[in-house]
């Protein structure tokens, strides 16, 4: 079931998303618990959380500013990957974008993350540029992707 961040306190959710990101990313969470908590408190941050049987299995974090959205993070627990959870989280984001009359959704993804790029492309995102050496551990380019909503 998909929930929003309002179902939790910021401190509680910061711990949950940190732990999930830490388990999901090859080199651990890209943000500290404090950074997650700060992001959760921002008025323009939105979170879509896939929870099942009281356990957080995946999340999508984004920012909504004026008529644009940016996906900040997407993570699905390794034991639940390749089951369509990321697809459902992205669809929830697109539904919100349409209701909020958003023009565009942006994101950056590791150039080597073919599975993620494939999911984004399936949802209408197109590569529009490269950020050289954007990621670290290991250093890698980011592919900038865009989806026009309206």
28-65: per-residue pLDDT in tens?
A: 899 999 999 999 999 999 999 999 998 999 999 999 99
Cβ atoms of 89 and 60 within 8 Å: the answer is yes
pLDDT of residue 36: 95
Task: Name the residue with tokens 């990313």.
Answer: 25
Contacts of 42 by beta carbon, 8 Å cutoff, 6+ apart: 63
pLDDT of residue 109: 97
Secondary structure E strands in the chain? 2-4, 45-52, 55-65, 68-76, 104-110, 126-135, 140-148
Active site residues: 108, 120
């Amino acid at each position: 079931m998909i929930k929003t961040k309002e179902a939790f306190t910021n401190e509680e959710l910061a711990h949950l998303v940190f732990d999930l990101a830490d388990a999901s990313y090859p080199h651990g969470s890209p943000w500290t618990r404090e950074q997650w908590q700060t992001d959760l408190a921002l008025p323009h941050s939105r979170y879509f959380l896939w929870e099942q049987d009281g356990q957080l299995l995946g999340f999508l974090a984004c920012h909504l500013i004026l008529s644009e959205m940016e996906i900040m993070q997407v993570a699905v627990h390794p034991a639940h990957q390749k089951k369509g959870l990321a697809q459902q989280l992205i669809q929830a984001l697109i539904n919100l974008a349409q209701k909020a009359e958003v023009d565009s959704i942006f994101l950056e993804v590791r150039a080597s993350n073919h599975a993620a790029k494939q999911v984004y492309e399936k949802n209408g995102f197109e590569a529009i540029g490269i950020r050289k050496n954007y990621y670290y551990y290991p250093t890698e380019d980011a592919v900038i992707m865009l989806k026009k909503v309206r």
